[in-house]
Structure 1
Amino acid sequence: MRERVGTSRKPTASAKTCASGASRSKTQRRVSAGAASSKRTRRRQNHVSKHCAHPSRLAPVEVVAPDRLDVMAPGVNQGVAAELKPRRDWTLKELLATNPSLLVALDSIMDPQNLGAILRSAEAAGADGVVLPERRSAPLSAAAVKASSGASEHLRLARVAGLPSAVAEIRRHGIWCVALDPRGELLPWEFDLTQPVCLVVGGEGHGVHRLVRERSDARVRLPMAGRVASLNASAAAAALLYEAMRQRSSR
């Protein structure tokens, strides 16, 4: 079954890429059709049609009545919607076969806004994929996809039955697993994040669960200079991802 997604902003350079039908990365889904509200200006309609219906993209655009578009994409859609082909589901084995150098594993991230924000940071920092447990995880809902600002369409996402066993499998593949823990022994810059690594981020309630921590190679903490005890999960993940990016860019 195809999925319909409404945009929440006017078409931009990034929107052109999402509506191109020609994948920018191997994991991006193709756009099979587009719809634009008849209330949009002729210039905006032409803009969408030009970038979706180009012969190399083969994604036809239909101008429809506003009420029909509201049925296709409920909520705030700004007058444009795209019909996407089904998302590819990766297995952990398939993900590891790509020889990733930077992975993110999420433990009990239950808030879809946090999930989307972490996916956005992971893609921006150059992560090769994200590991999500089938349970104890927010679904990749419309809210999460929107919060990811399109990052979910570019990342390889692998669902696993259990995160502890997944961490063990990742380590057997020669990838270091580093858990983010407020009681961690190391600061992020004290660990070599230039080597193949999987960053494990826990939810704001219990953090990374005990068994996952125990199976990780190291635990790192983010220093707090103010009075608050911690950052939220998405901010902490972004900080650790960009420390990895900093180390790798200075090699």
Structure 2
Amino acid sequence: MLLYGRNPVLEALRAGLVEELTVARGIEDAFLQELKTFEVRIRFAPRQELDQQAGTADHQGVLAEVEDLKWASLDDIMDLAESRGEELLIVLLDGITDPRNFGAIIRSAEVLGAHGVVVEERRSSPLNATVAKAAAGATSFLPVAQTKNMPRLIEQLKADNIWVYGAAGEAARPMKQLDYDRPLALVIGAEGEGMRRLVREKCDELVSIPVKGQIQSLNAAVAAGILIQHAVASRK
């Protein structure tokens, strides 16, 4: 998989996932010296060649060839929570098909302290370079898993005493009224449509984020970040 953008490439380098870099000729020396601190091959090329390879001019002068991103498992997510000695916090995505939103949610989940992200196979963006770039390297550290059936997964989580809260703008209970000091999964629905009916019905609670402006809805990635941060901060 071709990865581009400085932050994603640097994070992949730190994780030891890169064997060769393609760097635009004339790139500033300070960034080049930072790249040279890693033991990887560096090939220089005209910026136009990087534009063609990346399919965009938004590569910031560096490309990296890395292994394709691999899906984790639910057990990987559980293991991460256990290794940290923390109550489980999973983010479930129901119909997030925009790769930039998907990547941004992965980034927020990793930075703010969640233990993994789960998507449904047929209703999600693939794990591709756009996701990796938006995640700014978080895909190297946070397990991202797939499930064949989200409602069935929610039933499984609940059977394992994991509470499930679904984000819904019209929910009667604002986020400050709920208890987050327990094993928990947060469900984020698709832009505009929200969660599917069956997913909503499986949730233990529906939760809203209070808003004060004239626009009554938030971008899915922003909503996810707010709820993750609130959940983590609310725990003892």
Q: TM tier, shorter chain?
A: 0.7 to 0.9
Residue ranges of structure 1 left out of the alignment (5+ in a row): 23-29, 54-58
Deviation digits for residues 25-68 of structure 1 (CA, Å, limit 9, x no counterpart): xxxxx222222233325554333122x21xxxxx3323345455
Determine if contact 2:3/2:132 at 8 Å carries over to the other structure.
no
Task: Report the count of equivalent residues.
Answer: 230
Q: Which has the higher helix share?
A: 2
C-alpha distance in structure 2 between counterparts of 1:109 and 1:88, whole Å: 18
1:195 match: 182
C-alpha distance in structure 1 between counterparts of 2:44 and 2:213, whole Å: 53
- How is 1:1-251 mapped onto 2 (pairs within 5 angstroms)? 3-7=1-5, 9=6, 16-22=10-16, 30-42=17-29, 44-50=31-37, 52-53=38-39, 59-76=40-57, 77-99=59-81, 101-248=88-235, 251=236
C-alpha distance in structure 1 between counterparts of 2:113 and 2:79, whole Å: 17
Deviation digits for residues 111-144 of structure 1 (CA, Å, limit 9, x no counterpart): 2222222222211211110001111222333333
C-alpha distance in structure 2 between counterparts of 1:188 and 1:135, whole Å: 29
Q: Which amino acid aligns with 2:160?
A: H
CA RMSD of aligned residues (A): 2.4
Determine if contact 1:103/1:129 at 8 Å carries over to the other structure.
yes
Residue ranges of structure 2 left out of the alignment (5+ in a row): 83-87
Deviation digits for residues 133-164 of structure 1 (CA, Å, limit 9, x no counterpart): 11122233333322222223322000111110
SS for the counterpart of 1:135 is helix
The two structures have a TM-score, normalised by structure 2, of 0.85
Query: Which one has more relative contact order, counting CA pairs under 8 Å at least 6 apart?
Result: 2
Identity, % of aligned positions:
32
User: In the TM superposition, what is the alpha-carbon distance from 1:99 to its structure 2 partner?
Assistant: 4.6
